[in-house]
Structure 1
Amino acid sequence: MPANLILERKLRDKQARRAQIIGAARRVAELEGWPSVTVRRLSDEISYSQPVLYAHFGSREGILTAVAIEGFREIGLALEKARKRVKRGNTVESVAAAYLEFAASSPALYEVMFSLNLNVPFGASATPSELRFAFSQLLELFPGQSSKAEVLAELFWASLHGVAELRRTKRFPRGRQKERVRVLVELFSFPG
């Protein structure tokens, strides 16, 4: 077998193992929470030795960071889809609904992205492309606000995150969710 085919197969196998480890971490976290996601537990879940997991990620935090980055890729795609599907209507409202739906439908993933103390840089030169892509979907909501677009996107994101977290922790009554979103959208909707 030619050397390049062997290298390609090894790379595919490595990527498949990595995806399997990330998938197992997500499943365990959704069922039992992030404290249950340990290297030993994942090793048992997927029948790979602990050294294999360490070879891929270096540490438990490395695994959680990889899950968080995958989550940012997913939320970025969800926000992009919400933004692009609006023909008539309010793009800000569509993106807000997609964000809050993502947070509600994937609570463990959302938690690892935003609430666990991971070393994932935000707003820095080392920020992963997946985070930059997700944030760019919020920036796209404020095209006519060039000098303030980044701050507006940050404040919109902070507002959505606050609503998502307060809802997740049951500090906001469910009954006013539509009204909250409507008023938030009004605050961040600017004439074209």
Structure 2
Amino acid sequence: MSVQERKQREQADRERLIVATARELAEQQGWDAVTTRRLAERIEYSQPVLYSHFRGKREIIGAVALEGASELAAAVRAATSAADGPRARVTALARAYLDFAARNPAVYDAIFQLDGGLAFAEEETPEPLKDAFAALMETLGEAAGNGVHPGLFTEVFWAALHGLATLSRAGRLPPELAEQRVALVVDRLAVL
């Protein structure tokens, strides 16, 4: 291994450590607790080393968001591939999405609520975000119905799931009705 390859590997390892530590701290204490000073202390590197990888908290949030989007896409694909039939796939997608949001609140916020400096729904949208949307559309496209653009339907279904995830996390919806909400969204929106 060349010196250059070793340095690149070490740099990538430090970046993964920074992102993992930021994510862990955010999941435990919220994003307000994630500061470059606290991250530097936790990873036992100086703040200048941290800044040599990320220009600040915004870029770290963006890195967490990209990692989380890849995980969300994988969770949705795993859930839908195990389901039998269109209705079961859409229901599995909804459950996987809501479960991801509930299990990873800080990551979910990084993807959808916080400013990580990422472009959405644009040409320069990073590939992990495009892939997360594609994972939704792979299943939801078949549930759009005649004459409805699959991308538009996916946006509307996604918005419904995002609303459920956000309101549930805020304690605005009774948890005992979660399954009925999923069934209602699937029954009312999906044409199966």
Confirm or deny a common fold (TM above 0.5): yes
Distance in 1 (CA, whole Å) between partners of 2:55 and 2:27 is 23
Q: Is 1:59–2:45 an aligned residue pair?
A: no
Q: For the Cα contact (< 8 Å) 1:92–1:188, is it kept in 2?
A: no
* Deviation per residue, 1:72-129 (Å, 9 max, x gap): 1110111111121223451100000000000011111111211113321110011000
Match of 1:95 among 87, 93, 96: 93
The CA deviation at 1:144 is 7.0
Q: Is the CA contact 2:23–2:64 (under 8 Å) kept in the aligned structure 1? A: yes
Q: What are the superposed Cα offsets for residues 118-153 of structure 1, whole Å, 9 maximum, x if unpaired?
A: 321110011000000000011112137585100000
RMSD: 1.5
What is residue 158 of structure 2 aligned with on the other side?
A: 157
TM-score, normalised with respect to structure 1: 0.92
**Aligned: 1:35 with 2:32:** yes
Count of matched residue pairs: 188
Give the corresponding residue for 2:189: 188
- Asked if 1 retains the 8 angstrom alpha-carbon contact of 2:62 and 2:115, the reply is no
Aligned residue number for residue 112 of structure 1 = 110
Task: Summarize the alignment of residues 18-29 of structure 1 with structure 2, pairs less than 5 Å apart.
Answer: 18-29=15-26
Whole-Å separation in 2 of the counterparts to 1:41 and 1:87:
47
Q: Name stretches of at least 5 consecutive residues in structure 1 with no aligned partner.
A: none
Q: d(CA) in 1 for partners of 2:155 and 2:94?
A: 13
Percent identity over the alignment? 38
> Is 2:136 aligned against 1:143?
no
Give 5+ residue unaligned stretches, structure 2: none
1:44 corresponds in structure 2 to: 41
